[in-house]
Amino acid sequence: MFGNPWIFIRGVPSMEFLPPEGPTEIAFAGRSNVGKSSLINALVGQKGLARTSNTPGRTQELNYFVPDGYSGAAGDLPPMALIDMPGYGYAQAPKAHVDAWTKLVFDYLRGRATLKRVYVLIDSRHGIKPNDDDVLSLLDKAAVSYQVVLTKTDKIKAGAVPHLMAETLEKIRKRPAAFPEIVATSSEKGEGIEELRSAILTAIRN
Ligand code: GTP
Ligand code: MG
């Protein structure tokens, strides 16, 4: 699945524009600028598929990506969709916009029956922040399975990664919907990407 080309199918600005529930959905959540769009590009091996930027607030809709080659007709649905989401936390955009994106993300995470797993991205340099905890609590409450992914490991000392992983795992250990393993990644260097692909394929098959 990750060997084939992927395409963008839809940008969803608010809940009423969500596509009908069909393929298994895997969503990527995290603070603005944590590297969600870059991680999707690394996973599918297509640099320009999801738009990335140095400026927080790049992704402003729920963006749906699917493997190419499916008609979308009943019985010919893609096996999964990857959903890139607006970031939460901060963005250089008017507060009303940021509030609307945050509401969209929270509404989607709470209420989507075909959402199989959420990858919650945490910047290796910053660790879990209070607004990440809010999202984890929301997922726990809604009983939506999620796995924590550390991003941008190339920005910290290689020797610090195991300690950071252990520390982060300890922080989420008691959370009921958390997958009990963490993946450390660098989209820039390709680290952890194959491991994350396997984790996603396992999640959609279970
Ligand atoms: P929003 O859509 O604004 O919420 O951001 P995002 O989470 O989608 O982040 P995005 O992928 O746009 O990346 C933000 C910045 O971080 C860009 O300048 C990326 O090039 C950079 N970045 C992403 N992943 C990595 C990584 O693994 N290593 C390094 N060094 N930089 C990265
Ligand atoms: Mg983005």
Query: What residue spans of 91-190 are helical by DSSP H?
Result: 95-110, 130-142, 161-172
Mean pLDDT across 5-24: 94
Could you tell me if residue 196 is inside a domain? yes
Contact by Cβ (8 Å): 183, 195 = yes
Which of 31, 33, 92 for a ligand 1 pocket mutation test, highest count of atoms within 8 Å of Cβ? 33
Could you tell me if residue 161 is inside a domain? yes
**Digit-coded pLDDT (tens) for 19-29:** 999 999 999 99
Could you tell me if residue 1 is inside a domain? no
Could you tell me if residue 171 is inside a domain? yes
**Digit-coded pLDDT (tens) for 88-121:** 987 678 888 888 888 999 999 998 999 999 999 9
pLDDT band at 72 (very low <50, low <70, confident <90, very high): confident
Query: Which residue's alpha carbon is nearest to atom 24 within ligand 1?
Result: 35
pLDDT band at 173 (very low <50, low <70, confident <90, very high): very high
23 touches ligand 1 (CB under 6 Å): no
Could you tell me if residue 53 is inside a domain? yes
Q: Which ipTM was obtained for this model?
A: 0.99
Could you tell me if residue 19 is inside a domain? yes
Inform me whether the pLDDT recorded for 49 exceeds 90.
yes
What residues make up the domain containing 122?
A: 6-205
Specify the pLDDT at position 36: 98
In angstroms, the CA 97 to CA 113 distance is 26
Could you tell me if residue 68 is inside a domain? yes
User: What's the mean pLDDT when you consider all of the chain?
Assistant: 94
> What is the count of structural domains for the chain?
1
Q: Which atom of ligand 1 is nearest to 84's Cα?
A: 8
Specify the pLDDT at position 97: 84
Kindly compute the dihedral angle of the four CA atoms of residues 89, 191, 194, 57, in this order, to the nearest 10 degrees: 20
Could you tell me if residue 138 is inside a domain? yes
Specify the pLDDT at position 139: 96
- CATH code at position 101: 3.40.50.300
Specify the pLDDT at position 74: 80
